[in-house]
Structure 1
């Protein structure tokens, strides 16, 4: 059951033999220490001294609290939280003095309670051979998130079977993000490479969840569902549907499919398997915009022939109907493999988001095979 691969919280004793300093390339610096007696992890960017930004989490809870303030001489004055919704409530503050390797000072809440703060430059446990490749990139790319993930573990869920392949579902309990790994049906090396991609994506979604919670504050919400759509000896395809309210003007929802080449573990591009609309190998001089336009025109023609009722143009002035003959809604689209063909989902403006994700918009494989791309992948009949 993935054995070494699923040591997803790589902080065993052997990890601590090597360390790296926690400083990102964009000026963010990461510290560890205590607020009162409680361990915390803090990220600060003090490059613009009159607009210092940051965040921190308690190691026990992992939920971010925003920080903002200013640095004058060696004194850092920070406010915890914000009044983004205009309620003007009193907020906790931190007053910190620079030390040789960090900060020390005091946290105070609106009621006057004070607690000491001690921070030192974070030392990061080095990844090991069993660390997922995505997590292994974080010490350099995002040390703060790397330290957050050290304290998170996946909980095994149900076992499943899809198209003859055994699946194991996993959930990260705090974010409720859920994903599957594949437990049978592929050669060992290919299966491990696929699962590294799938579980790496799970952790990316966990990071996105925390970013949404930080941005949206107390009213933030994020929900997600993941569904395998096609598994074969050459292809792993699934769809991620995410709804979120991260403090913007409106909540939103969207798809983010994953299509993997089993033999390389790399993402499959649509033109790898379907070469039309300037995407053929002899059309290298065609601009990307022109390619999209030609593909949209071709796709509308195919769908009009396959699904004439669904593609019927709405009557003039009927703004409530979905116009799938509009090239603009096919200039950007989601796509993934299914047992019947390649699904392509159009993208409508927010006010018509109910037109997204029609069930019928599938290109049969018999049609796809008439326009093969450069990558040789075995597709079903149909």
Structure 2
């Protein structure tokens, strides 16, 4: 949900000695102030004056409330919430006048209760050298989320041991999002790089939860489970399974693995690990970012051609040889067809002790076919087709 967050080197955070003003490049502006006597954070996009959009949260609760309306001259008329599911119930409104430094005016409930609103352009607390790189990068693209996270803290949960590595699990109490950090078994520098990625991902999932809540309103569901799959001196690999309903016709679910190169702290793409094409492996752009950095048009086209024309046919051929029974063509329309090339093009993948797990992705009517437990590519095969990053893989 939150894309394009550029990685900020830890040392760079220490260079911030000024408090920055909060606005995003796409026209969104962020304000802080009060509604009545309660502190709030507001994001508004007034670029299209007849279709103003926004959201706000009470600093005490952090839960988004949607805003929509219009700007006429210097008067902003907004509705809080929506009736997207046909409820046609009266909604709170805000009427604000522009000031030299923000907005001021009045909030009114459907019952007629009125409260004053005062907003000024937000000034962000500067990141420090101890700020997690993921959070330190937020002021540049997502200042609103940066301010939300200032009020949230992780709580330590259970301790665990996986493949000989001590893990500390952390939970963000309001969203119940949970993930682990590695506490032993790696060098100090490797451990720091890996944990920056892991905790950055945890906070990214917290942001995704709030984005889902904003879309789904009172009916939102967002349940998540993180599971370590392999930890070694070379890689830390985990899978994050999410079941969610963020509005729309149906709930859904999906896997979103994270595979980290221990020596660099970079997330790994499948092309970094496995390459079955001609020439040099593609150097996937997301390796240089904490989020999913968008590929250029040329990169995107090259990757599409490689995946569709080379990788997917190769994967089907390998799995047909390794798992002939599972890959057998179905006899009925409702059976899982693992020969279908379309199901492997966006495979979630992660490391296991035995090899690379490549998942299948079916259309909604056959989602029960997702996540086959057998689709593992042995390391003996993977090593014959190394990717862009030199990794010490298990024997498998």
Bin the TM-score by the shorter chain: over 0.9
Match of 1:147 in 2: 147
Alignment of 1:219-234 (within 5 A): 219-234=219-234
- 2:367 paired with 1:353: yes
What is the distance in 1 between the residues matched to 2:281 and 2:141? Answer: 38
Match of 1:332 in 2: 346
Deviations for 1:305-357, whole angstroms, at most 9, x for unmatched residues? 21111111111xx1111011112211221111000110000111111111110
Match of 2:333 in 1: 319
Match of 2:104 in 1: 104
Alignment of 1:1-382 (within 5 A): 18-276=18-276, 278=277, 280-281=279-280, 287-292=302-307, 293-315=309-331, 318-382=332-396
- Whether contact under 8 Å (1:21, 1:122) holds in the other structure is yes
Shift of 1:23: 1.1
- Whether contact under 8 Å (2:224, 2:243) holds in the other structure is yes
1:353 to 1:120, Cα distance in 2 relative to 1, 3 A: same
Aligned residue for 2:342, secondary structure, equals helix
Q: CA RMSD in A?
A: 2.0
Which residues of structure 2 form unaligned runs of 5+?
A: 1-13, 284-297
Shift of 1:294: 2.1
Give the number of equivalent residue pairs: 366
1:28 to 1:283, Cα distance in 2 relative to 1, 3 A: closer
1:282 to 1:343, Cα distance in 2 relative to 1, 3 A: closer
User: TM-score with structure 2 length normalisation?
Assistant: 0.89
Identify the structure with bigger relative contact order (alpha carbons < 8 Å, sequence gap 6+). 2
Which residues of structure 1 form unaligned runs of 5+?
A: 1-13
Give every structure 1 segment of 4 or more consecutive aligned residues whose post-TM-superposition deviation is greater than 6 Å. 14-17, 282-286
What is the distance in 1 between the residues matched to 2:388 and 2:26? Answer: 39
Shift of 1:373: 2.6
What is the distance in 1 between the residues matched to 2:272 and 2:42? Answer: 44
- Whether contact under 8 Å (2:159, 2:167) holds in the other structure is yes
Instruction: Name the larger-Rg structure.
Output: 1
What is the distance in 1 between the residues matched to 2:228 and 2:50? Answer: 49
